Structure 1
Amino acid sequence: MKTTVALIASALLIASSSVFAEEHASESLKHAEHAVTHGKAGHAPQLVEHAEKALAHVDKAESAASGDAKAHISAGKKSLEETIAHGKQNHAEVATKHAEEAVSHFKAGNI
């Protein structure tokens, strides 16, 4: 009986972790896409704001991911870091290219 309860509890924990990771991955993609939109409009401060929000969610999604998905999330994370660095220098055009790379990586990682 205790073994069955432990197995069920473990299965629920794993399932909830997956949902938790998907939620953060989805938020990362959403904010990265908003960063691109603002970057194309030349709004560097808003681009940075959304890239930072995306980055906050990426860390949580990355820790739960594995395989190719994790590799794409990690690459997207690096692109977001470049987005933020260039956006803070008011280089909206360059920052936007990095944000677009992040979006591409996140989509390739199925997040």
Structure 2
Amino acid sequence: MSRIIYLVSFLLLAVSSGVFAEPHADAALEATNKAVLHGKSGHVSLLVEYAQTALEQAKQGAAVAKDEAKIHMDAAVKSLDETIQHGKTGHVAIATKSAEAAVTHLQEGNK
């Protein structure tokens, strides 16, 4: 009986682990969209602020993502890192393009 319980528990965990990435990816996508909006408006400090929020969520999503979703979440993390670095140096246009790339990866990773 205990073997069945362990087996069922393991199967439920294995099936549900991919689901955990979605809330983080959704939160990261929302924050990244706000970063893009502020970047297009030239508000570099807000772009960086939202990109940092998105980065935290994207890292959490990447930690539990699998397969192709993991590839896209990792790419989104990289793009958000670039967004923050360019934003901190005042390169708003480049930071915005990096944030737009992150949006694409977050959308692809959350299908």
Cα distance in 1 for residues equivalent to 2:103 and 2:14? 27
Paired residues, what number? 111
Task: Point out where structure 1 has 5 or more consecutive residues left out of the alignment.
Answer: none
Asked if residue 56 in structure 1 is aligned to residue 51 in structure 2, the reply is no
Tell me which amino acid in the other structure corresponds to 1:43. Answer: H
What's 1:108 paired with? 108
CA distance in 2, matches of 1:11, 1:49: 39
Q: For residue 30 of structure 2, what is the aligned residue in structure 1?
A: 30
Contact 1:35 1:51 in 2 (8 A): yes
Structure 2, unpaired ranges of 5+: none
- Corresponding letter in the other structure for 2:103: V
State the identity %: 46
Answer yes or no: is the 8 Å Cα contact 1:45–1:90 preserved in 2.
Answer: no
Q: Distance in 2 between matches of 1:20 and 1:109?
A: 12
1:1-111 paired onto structure 2 within 5 Å: 1-110=1-110
Distance 1:37-1:105 versus aligned 2 partners, 3 A rule? same
Name the aligned partner's letter for residue 3 of structure 1: R
User: Under a length normalisation based on structure 2, what TM-score does the superposition of the two structures give?
Assistant: 0.87
Cα root mean square deviation, aligned: 1.6
Q: Which amino acid aligns with 2:44?
A: A
Q: Give the drift of 1:13.
A: 3.1
Question: What is the SS of the residue equivalent to 2:42?
Answer: coil
Once the two structures are superposed, residues 56-110 of structure 1 have per-residue CA deviations (whole angstroms, 9 ceiling, x without a partner) of: 1111111211222211111111111110001111222111010001101111223
